[in-house]
Amino acid sequence: MKKISYFIILFLFLSLDSLAQEATPKPDPMQKIVMGQGKVSQKEYDEFWQYLEASGYKEKMAIVNSMRKTFLPIQEYQKESWACVKQAWNKRKKVPCPKADAVAAAYKKSSGLDFSAAIIDMSSSLIKAAATRKPVSLMSDVPSFSLTAESIAESEKFFVNSVDRLDQVLRPKYN
């Protein structure tokens, strides 16, 4: 069951084109932040900013502002989507996802762009699969799989944690 959950998390993580291009067998500092646990350490914070080659306040603020407008909302959308997947599982019916919709609307308002259809479709498919308890296929060349309460909880926890850790590192100074 954990393999399914990790597959879902890995798929969602790598579904973002910018990260998919960066993916390597050895996690880079960005992946370590997103996939790490607990409070971001000073070492992780420093490695993250060294990896991005930003040392001055202005450079860091440009990256912070950019990531808070682009990458962080996508992570927040996925976090809220997993909360809806959990609700759909518990209620055994498709549920609305107003917090995820609000994140997508705020993203569009601030950037003028919509989230990719793939991310939205994937979230909708997961919510439907949780409600119906039927297997879901997120990609045409990957076999379908069934969600479980455990895999949903692990995925939700992953995105709650990743948003929290990103929020910790997306600051010009460590605190």
d(CA 175, CA 168): 8
Say if residues 143 and 62 touch (Cβ distance below 8 Å): no
Question: Comparing C-alpha atoms, which of 2, 6, 8 is closest to residue 142?
Answer: 8
| Residue 70: both structure tokens together | 């682009």
Per-residue pLDDT of the chain (175 residues; tens, 9 = 90+): 444 443 444 444 444 433 444 444 577 888 899 899 999 999 999 999 999 998 789 999 999 999 998 889 999 999 999 999 999 999 999 999 999 999 999 988 888 888 888 888 999 999 999 999 999 998 888 889 999 999 999 999 999 999 999 999 999 899 8
The 3-class secondary structure across 149-170, one letter per residue, is HHHHHHHHHHHHHHHHHHHHHC
Alpha helices in the chain (DSSP H): 2-14, 17-22, 29-35, 42-51, 57-69, 71-91, 98-111, 117-132, 149-169
Tell me the C-alpha distance between 67 and 166, whole Å: 9
Tell me the pTM.
0.79
So where are the chain's domains? 2-13+28-169
pLDDT of residue 17: 39
Question: Which tokens belong to 6?
Answer: 């990790």
pLDDT at residue 25, as a whole number: 59
